[in-house]
């Protein structure tokens, strides 16, 4: 790395758990780029100051993770259309004039992951059932609607939160009560779990798949473990199942290209290296 190295990083609090430095570091080495991608641990009360300082420090941009996605949304100079719809920013690009542009690549990462796992899948094939109503659910729902999903059935334990998300996004979103979650699976072409249920240290998602068509694709955005109880149950009945690691890997591609000038490739070696972290 020279004094002319291109700089980017990931900002959060805490940040030690992030696998993004390992991910981007692999790409930097693979493509022989004079650059660095570093973890930026920033106390929440200084997040806006740190974001505004990126141009002065010579950064090409950064990723932002919890709890800074909404702060970044309010701080950048302009937003791309996707970030504006999602109400959150996960990728910041510093332009030559020092202005900050905020984007959100979570939905892109979700779609690319499902497409990579099921190459004949498309959002237009039928209704999608989305479990959860947090930031990840918002990203998934926006991505699916923009890709042509005819209907999204949004299921969450707290109905009010799901209704708020549906109202914010607009479009063909039907809010389903938690007690009716199994009924929502009838005729669905895609099931996505965006909650932490099934993650290591959390209870499994309480969902009976009997009403789900066997032709439907099942995706869990959790990637620790890769094979969540939901995915194991889906495969056992013949559904195609897609784990959540690829969403993390694919969402990183647009930022890397913007900062370092190379469109990176997601490979099995990359997945292995990130998992080892």
Q: Is 273 annotated as a binding residue?
A: no
For helices 253-260 and 106-117, the axis angle rounded to 10 degrees is: 120
| Residues in the chain, total | 277
Residue 136 annotated as part of some ligand binding site: yes
- Would the annotation count 133 as a binding residue? yes
Residue 99 near residue 175 (C-beta atoms within 8 A): no
Cis peptide before 108 (omega within 30 of 0): no
| 18 carries a ligand binding annotation | yes
198 is an annotated ligand-binding site residue: no
Cα separation values, 17 from 2, 11, 37, 194, Å: 27, 12, 15, 19
Q: Are 60 and 7 in contact (CB under 8 A)?
A: yes
Q: Is 19 annotated as a binding residue?
A: yes
Q: What is the per-residue burial (b if ≥16 Cβ within 10 Å, else e) of 52-89? A: eebbeeebbbbbbbeebbebbbebbeebbebbebbbbb
Q: How many whole angstroms separate alpha carbon 230 and alpha carbon 223?
A: 12
158 belongs to an annotated ligand binding site: yes
CA 48, CA 236: separation in Å to the nearest integer?
47
Q: Specify whether 69 is catalytic.
A: yes
The answer to the question of whether 80 is labelled as a binding residue is: no
Specify which residues 62 forms β-bridges with.
9, 92
Do residues 80 and 101 touch, judged by C-beta distance below 8 A? yes
Q: Is 33 annotated as a binding residue?
A: no
Q: Per the annotation, does 90 bind a ligand?
A: yes
Between CA 61 and CA 55 the distance in angstroms is 8
The single residue of 60, 69, 138, 250 carrying the catalytic annotation is 69
Q: Per the annotation, does 61 bind a ligand?
A: no
Q: Is 228 among the annotated ligand-binding positions? A: no
46 in a labelled binding site: no
Query: Is 35 known as a binding-site position?
Result: no
Q: Which residues are tagged catalytic?
A: 69
Pick out the residues of the known binding site for NADP(+): 132-136, 156-161, 221, 244
Q: Annotated binding site for shikimate: which residue ranges?
A: 18-20, 65, 90, 106, 223, 251
Q: Give binding residues as ranges.
A: 18-20, 65, 90, 106, 132-136, 156-161, 221, 223, 244, 251
């Amino acid at each position: 790395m020279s004094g002319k190295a291109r700089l980017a990083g990931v900002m959060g609090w805490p940040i030690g758990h992030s696998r993004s430095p390992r991910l981007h570091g692999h790409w930097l080495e693979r493509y022989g780029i004079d650059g660095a991608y570093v973890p930026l641990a920033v106390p929440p009360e200084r997040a806006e100051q740190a974001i505004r300082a990126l141009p002065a420090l010579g950064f090409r941009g950064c990723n932002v993770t919890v709890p800074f996605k909404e702060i970044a949304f309010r701080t950048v100079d302009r937003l791309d259309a996707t970030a504006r719809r999602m109400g959150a920013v996960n990728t910041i690009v510093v332009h030559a004039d020092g202005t900050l542009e905020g984007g959100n690549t979570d939905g892109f990462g979700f779609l690319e992951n499902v497409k990579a796992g099921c190459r004949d899948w498309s959002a237009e094939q039928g209704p999608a059932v989305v479990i959860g109503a947090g930031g990840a659910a918002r990203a998934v729902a926006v991505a699916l609607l923009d890709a042509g999903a005819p209907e999204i059935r949004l299921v969450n334990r707290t109905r009010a939160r799901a209704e708020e998300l549906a109202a914010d996004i607009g479009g063909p979103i039907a809010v389903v009560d938690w007690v009716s979650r199994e009924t929502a699976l009838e005729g669905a072409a895609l099931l996505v779990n965006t909650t932490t249920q099934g993650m290591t240290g959390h209870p499994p998602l309480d969902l009976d798949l009997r009403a789900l068509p066997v032709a439907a694709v099942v995706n869990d955005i959790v990637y620790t473990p890769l094979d969540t109880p939901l995915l194991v149950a889906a495969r056992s009945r013949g559904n195609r199942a897609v784990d959540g690691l690829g969403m993390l890997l694919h969402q990183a591609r647009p930022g890397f290209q913007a900062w370092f000038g190379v469109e990176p490739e997601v490979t099995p070696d990359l997945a292995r290296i990130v998992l080892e972290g």
